[in-house]
Amino acid sequence: MSENKNILQDTHGRDHTYLRISLTERCNLRCTYCMPANGVPLSPKSHLMTYEEIYKIAKTFVDNGVTKIRLTGGEPLVRKDIPVILEKLASLPVELSITSNAVIIDKFIDILKKYNVNKINVSLDSLDESKFKHITRRHDFKKVYNNILLLVKEGFTVKVNVVLIKGFNDNEIIDFIKFTKDLPVVIRFIEFMPFDGNKWDMSKMISYAEVMTYVNNAFAEDKIERLQDAPNDTSKNYKIKNYKGSFAIISSVTNPFCDSCNRLRLTANGQLKNCLFSSGESDLLTTLRAGKSIEPVIQKAVLAKLKVRGGMDTLKKLQEPKLHNNNRSMITIGG
């Protein structure tokens, strides 16, 4: 370790207190914006972190200041040792949450409660069953929809992530907002982002400004309430007056929130990514298996973090395929 004790602070003064850990590259859905049509080469099992290694790496981060860990995938609940992983991580002084597609989450209600995993993010990109099938390449709409209702009923804090794609689900923006009228959920509209194999281009993206145009056309000005964003929040938050839930917009492309970023990502095969948009990775797992301290590797990765979107600080750069095609597919990064 260097003389700087805070290994999670970068050169721009950002402290990284939030770690997202991908547990698996496997998923029971095949969402088009996340996974290429032909799938992805999966890491051999021996290259993936075991539950002991996940715990050891997570503990190092917590010992150095991480206060929140979110488990992602793939679909984290398809991992067979998920109960053990939850038990191990729940022993750390950290807020534990999970992102899931909710296809099988009903089977895990009790264990999630047991280990105080109270905050659940669910991916749902359409309220139309046929469109859900088109984008996920699966027939699980009813399962997901009913499991969202079940999570709410069971007292979980639920956020629903909606990746907006022009000409596909932008006509559902208001339907999703109306979904919050009687349900205390947060609908989060996410700008379509470029990753390897997802055929991204700017013309498919619905921007923050465009979402708000839909909102302003559908609701009277005095009905739209701007909420206070939490520190380090990735979203701009709103609600419709007297609705039980709220909605938010994550504008990673048109209005990046890099100045307050406190996030790091650990892939299922033990690579640390200091930014979702960066193609650079730091190998923690090989270092750990060699019996060496991973703290210098973490610090070097954090210090190398660029100020904005992995160096793509303009929309022009973001539209250069060579600058983001070397990144992983979203499925192997972790949602």
Residue ranges covered by each domain of the chain: 18-333
- For domain 18-333, which architecture applies? Alpha-Beta Barrel (3.20)
31-89: pLDDT as tens digits: 666 666 666 677 888 999 999 999 999 999 999 999 999 999 889 999 999 999 999 99
| Token pair for 135 | 């984008």
| Token pair for 265 | 């990502």
**Taking Cα atoms as reference points, which of 69, 79, 77, 73 lies closest to residue 20?**
69
Q: Which 3 state secondary structure label does DSSP give 129? A: helix
- Distance, in Å, from the CA atom of 158 to the CA atom of 135, rounded to the nearest integer, reads 22
148-182: pLDDT as tens digits: 999 999 999 999 999 998 999 999 999 999 999 99
Decide: 211 and 281 in contact? Cβ < 8 Å. no
Name the DSSP letter for residue 234. Answer: S
Judging by beta carbons within 10 Å of its beta carbon (0-12, 13-18, 19+), is residue 314 exposed, middle or buried?
Answer: exposed
Residue type (1 letter), 271: Q
Decide: 78 and 100 in contact? Cβ < 8 Å. no
Non-local (6+) Cβ contacts of 322 within 8 A are none
Looking up tokens 């499991």, which residue turns up?
147
| Better-scored residue on pLDDT, 255 or 139 | 139
Decide: 133 and 139 in contact? Cβ < 8 Å. yes
Predicted confidence at residue 30, as pLDDT, reads: 64
- Distance, in Å, from the CA atom of 178 to the CA atom of 334, rounded to the nearest integer, reads 29
**Taking Cα atoms as reference points, which of 146, 201, 223, 134 lies closest to residue 172?**
134
Task: Provide the terminal-to-terminal Cα distance of the chain, rounded to the nearest Å.
Answer: 30
Give counts: helices (H), strands (E), the chain. Answer: 12, 12
What is the phi/psi pair of residue 303, to 5°?
-65, -25
Q: Where are the alpha helices (DSSP H) in 37-114?
A: 51-63, 82-90, 109-114
Q: Identify the bridge partners of residue 22 per DSSP, sorted by sequence position.
A: 72
253-291: pLDDT as tens digits: 776 668 889 999 999 999 999 988 777 899 999 999 999
Q: Which 3 state secondary structure label does DSSP give 202? A: helix
Stated length of the chain = 335
- pLDDT bucket at 314, cuts 50 / 70 / 90: low
Predicted confidence at residue 109, as pLDDT, reads: 98
